[in-house]
Amino acid sequence: MAKEPKLNLIPLGGMGEIGKNLMVVKFEESILILDCGLMFPEEDMLGIDIVIPDTTYLLENKNLICGVVLSHGHEDHIGALP
């Protein structure tokens, strides 16, 4: 019996907040990154200029990344690109 293909949507930022939009689409052994945004700090985050998503998962799986799709050019969607 053939194995069902597996699709995972993994939000690394942008859920329940404004900014840090970063969604990982993992299909089988391939990762597609949707957006890579930053967030501007809250007023109580003194000394912090920008807030970026935690990209540990991507660093640990960098060999699976096949592409990046950017939805549009606003900082909350592209500002955390390396």
Closest CA to 64 of 29, 24, 33: 29
Residue 35 lies in a domain: yes
pLDDT of res. 30: 98
Task: Give the per-residue pLDDT at 82.
Answer: 83
Q: What is the pLDDT of residues 17-69, one digit of tens each?
A: 999 999 999 999 999 999 999 999 999 999 999 999 999 999 999 999 999 99
Q: Per the structure block, which two tokens stand in for 39?
A: 């967030």
**Is 1 among the domain residues?**
no
More confident residue, 74 or 2: 74
Q: Band of the pLDDT at 1, cuts 50, 70, 90? A: confident
Angle, CA 46 vertex, CA 42 and CA 53 arms, to 5°: 55
Is 70 within a domain?
yes
Q: Note down the domain range covering 74.
A: 7-78
Q: Report the 10 Å Cβ neighbour count for 12.
A: 21
Tally the domains of the chain.
1
31 found inside a domain: yes
Assign 76 to helix, strand or coil: helix
pTM of the model: 0.88
